[in-house]
Amino acid sequence: MTRTSPAETPLGDSFHVYDTTLRDGAQREGVSYSITDKLAVARLLDSLGVGFIEGGWPGALPKDTEFFQRAAAEFEPRHSALVAFGSTRRPGARADEDSQVRALLDSQAPVVTLVAKSDRRHIERALRTDVAENCAMVADTVRHLVDRGRRVFLDAEHFFDGYAHDPDTSLRVLEAAMGAGADVAVLCDTNGGRLPTGMAETVTEVIARTGFRVGVHCQDDTACAVANTITAVEAGATHVQCTANGYGERAGNADLFSVVGNLATKLEMPVLPEGGLGELTRVSHALAELANIAPDDHQPYVGNSTFAHKAGLHASAIKVDPELYNHIEPTTVGNDMRILVTEMAGRASLELKGAELGLDLSSSPDAITGSVRQVKELEARGWSFEGADASLELLLRRELAAAEDHETGVDETPDAPFELESYRVSLDHRPDGEVVSEATVKLVVNGERVIVTAEGNGPVNALDAALRQALVPYLPWLDDVELVDYKVRILTDASGTDAVTRVLVESRDREREWTTVGVHGSIVEASWLALCDALAFKALRRDEQRIGGGV
Ligand SMILES: CC(=O)SCCNC(=O)CCNC(=O)[C@H](O)C(C)(C)COP(=O)(O)OP(=O)(O)OC[C@H]1O[C@@H](n2cnc3c(N)ncnc32)[C@H](O)[C@@H]1OP(=O)(O)O
Ligand SMILES: CC(=O)C(=O)O
């Protein structure tokens, strides 16, 4: 049997980060882990360094029974102890004859968390027994497991509601468990209806009245699960149950990444082993992938947008010192700061964004002024640069080159890879119902005039095909550019215009992906503009590689 306490955290066994993604997290609507997924989740959580990984309920779910069998053979945690979850014996039965209790032992998990009723109303109405028998169920089952070498935690279900209604009954349940050898009395806000003030009062009072080691399990029905967990720790709880990204029954659970982020960076509690904190963002996204849920871009600490700054005033202070607008240094939790350039940008936003893209605008105030003006004007007409870094980089480079030309009096603005003479697109609905588009482009490339016609399944596809056929014989390095995504949005309220179409084109080659934008009253022209930027960006990168000695 493996360890029963967390390894290598500076706080050792004195503070528990307990993850229940594989049990409570799997109770979220829409989540269904395979056994292989469960093993992968457990490995990721172990790599982060959580103290305990609750793997599921063996004996209740065949998949969970099998997970523990496979985990015993295939999962060797470096940091975490594996936990089996289950309920106490049934009323009127014996613990040693209860098949579910047997399954907990058979799981070979070194730690067991038992769920027990701790609200008199649940004991009497849901369990249909009395308080004395409920306490006997708890004590018998805990003792049975402890006698067989298991470390036992008690999840006191509905504790806070029960304690508010009849505190003595709720405390008797905790006493039954702890008296029989349980290690932690975990107070559960099962209905998730608590607010932080009440949470702190109850935790403080329970610790004062019992002296027990107390943990908390907070559901998120009031959107206070994280706050409730942190306030409970401040009130003396030393064991926190959480799930990755807050997955869980109904509105979910306390988000592991927010709880750990807050404990480590605000309360300065080293709750993860060395290096764990810097893995929060990576592990959060990997666990979202395994749950088949898109990561929440705005999730505290780990979201893609969580350290993305849009307002010009924010950027101007960040330019002086990033700490002025970030509550922590983003890399502490493995995240990054980003500057977004939109109509809300000011000079500082452009300068910082330029630096992010590898362009030094600091000594070119004219380029910054020109870029701010262009961005604001274009965004007012429907352009959007925050999701189209490649188009923004081209705009900044054009402004930078124009400012330099103005200063030196020499035109050094780089040539576009080709010049458009004209294009024409037609749509042919044929007698058999097939719809085919045809595009003809007339271009000048490397000083030669080229005319190409191509077909496609739509006007943009045909235009893209014609453009490539025209260019690739002259610019063979364009051949590996692929169009990966194409998004269209009709804008009805861009100022001073009728409805316009915004097109975002995502392209990639063997090394990177980039996004460009085009806006026009015609969807074809908007697409053309975005496609041209996509190829111009590829040309730019290639020139840089050549100058840098690349291929
Ligand atoms: C708060 C939480 O989220 S705890 C985790 C909850 N998770 C789950 O329920 C998922 C797994 N559950 C299951 O697979 C099934 O519900 C099982 C296997 C546990 C039980 O299934 P069944 O025997 O068919 O019973 P059913 O689900 O209808 O009802 C639960 C039974 O457990 C009893 N029970 C509830 N809590 C406890 C407890 N702490 N200790 C002992 N028995 C309990 C109920 O009184 C009820 O008994 P009854 O069958 O005599 O009415
Ligand atoms: C144990 C548990 O999941 C709860 O009380 O919510």
CA dihedral 389, 390, 392, 396 (to 10 degrees): 130
Nearest residue (CA) to ligand 2, atom 4: 190
Task: Please report the pLDDT score of residue 9 as a whole number.
Answer: 82
Class level of CATH domain 12-291: alpha beta
Give burial (CB, 10 Å; 0-12/13-18/19+) of 493: exposed
> Where do the domains of the chain lie?
12-291, 308-408, 418-474, 481-551
* Mean predicted confidence (pLDDT) in 126-147: 97
Q: Is 319 touching ligand 2 by the criterion CB < 6 Å? A: no
Amino acid at 375: V
Which three-class secondary structure state does DSSP give residue 421? strand
- Residues 375 and 341: beta-carbon distance below 8 Å: yes
Task: Please report the pLDDT score of residue 446 as a whole number.
Answer: 87
Most confident of 180-184, 400-404, 429-433: 180-184
pLDDT digits (tens, 9 = 90+) for 323-362: 999 999 999 999 999 999 999 999 999 999 999 999 999 9
Question: Could you tell me the pLDDT band of residue 198, with boundaries at 50, 70 and 90?
Answer: very high
Task: Say which DSSP state 341 is in.
Answer: -
* Assigned CATH for 481-551: 3.30.160
Q: Which residues line ligand 1 (CB under 6 A)?
A: 57, 60-61, 87-88, 90, 115-117, 126-127, 157, 190, 249
d(CA 41, CA 52): 13
pLDDT over 80 (residue 496): no
Which three-class secondary structure state does DSSP give residue 502? strand
Point out the ligand 2 atom lying closest to the alpha carbon of residue 159: 5
Task: Please report the pLDDT score of residue 550 as a whole number.
Answer: 40
Point out the ligand 2 atom lying closest to the alpha carbon of residue 113: 1
pLDDT digits (tens, 9 = 90+) for 8-20: 788 999 999 999 9
pLDDT over 50 (residue 551): no
Q: Is 219 touching ligand 2 by the criterion CB < 6 Å? A: yes
Nearest residue (CA) to ligand 2, atom 2: 190
Out of 23, 90, 97, mutate this one to test ligand 1's pocket (max ligand atoms within 8 Å of CB): namely 90
Point out the ligand 1 atom lying closest to the alpha carbon of residue 157: 1
For 328, other C-beta atoms within 10 Å of its C-beta total 15
Relative to the alpha carbon of 254, which ligand is closest?
2
Nearest residue (CA) to ligand 1, atom 14: 60
Nearest residue (CA) to ligand 1, atom 33: 127
Stretch (H or E) spanning 183: none
* Mean predicted confidence (pLDDT) in 260-270: 98
Tokens of 265: 């960076």
Task: Please report the pLDDT score of residue 334 as a whole number.
Answer: 98
Nearest residue (CA) to ligand 1, atom 20: 60
pLDDT over 90 (residue 292): yes
pLDDT over 80 (residue 294): yes
Of 48-52, 361-365, 369-373, 495-499, which gets the smallest average pLDDT?
A: 495-499
pLDDT over 50 (residue 449): yes
Q: pTM score, two decimals?
A: 0.90
Cα→Cα distances 519→78, 497, 527, 541, Å: 53, 12, 8, 23
* Mean predicted confidence (pLDDT) in 488-498: 75
Tell me the CA–centroid distance for residue 206 and ligand 1, in Å: 27
Question: Could you tell me the pLDDT band of residue 5, with boundaries at 50, 70 and 90?
Answer: confident
Tell me the CA–centroid distance for residue 115 and ligand 2, in Å: 7
Nearest residue (CA) to ligand 2, atom 6: 190
Q: In percent, how much of the chain has pLDDT > 70?
A: 97
Domains 418-474 and 481-551 belong to one CATH topology: yes
- ipTM score of complex: 0.95
Give the CA radius of gyration of the chain: 31
pLDDT digits (tens, 9 = 90+) for 201-215: 999 999 999 999 999
Q: Looking at the structure, give the CATH architecture of the domain made up of residues 418-474.
A: 2-Layer Sandwich (3.30)
pLDDT digits (tens, 9 = 90+) for 83-99: 999 999 999 999 999 99
Task: Please report the pLDDT score of residue 408 as a whole number.
Answer: 74
pLDDT over 70 (residue 199): yes
- Residues 312 and 345: beta-carbon distance below 8 Å: yes
DSSP string across 93-117: S-GGG-HHHHHHHHTT-SEEEEEEE
pLDDT over 50 (residue 367): yes
Question: Could you tell me the pLDDT band of residue 549, with boundaries at 50, 70 and 90?
Answer: very low
DSSP-derived pairing of the beta strands 151-157 and 184-189: parallel
Out of 54, 118, 155, 229, mutate this one to test ligand 2's pocket (max ligand atoms within 8 Å of CB): namely 155
Q: Is 87 touching ligand 2 by the criterion CB < 6 Å? A: no
Task: Quote the mean pLDDT of the chain.
Answer: 94
pLDDT digits (tens, 9 = 90+) for 313-325: 999 999 999 999 9
pLDDT digits (tens, 9 = 90+) for 390-419: 999 999 999 998 888 777 776 665 567 789
Tell me the CA–centroid distance for residue 24 and ligand 2, in Å: 7
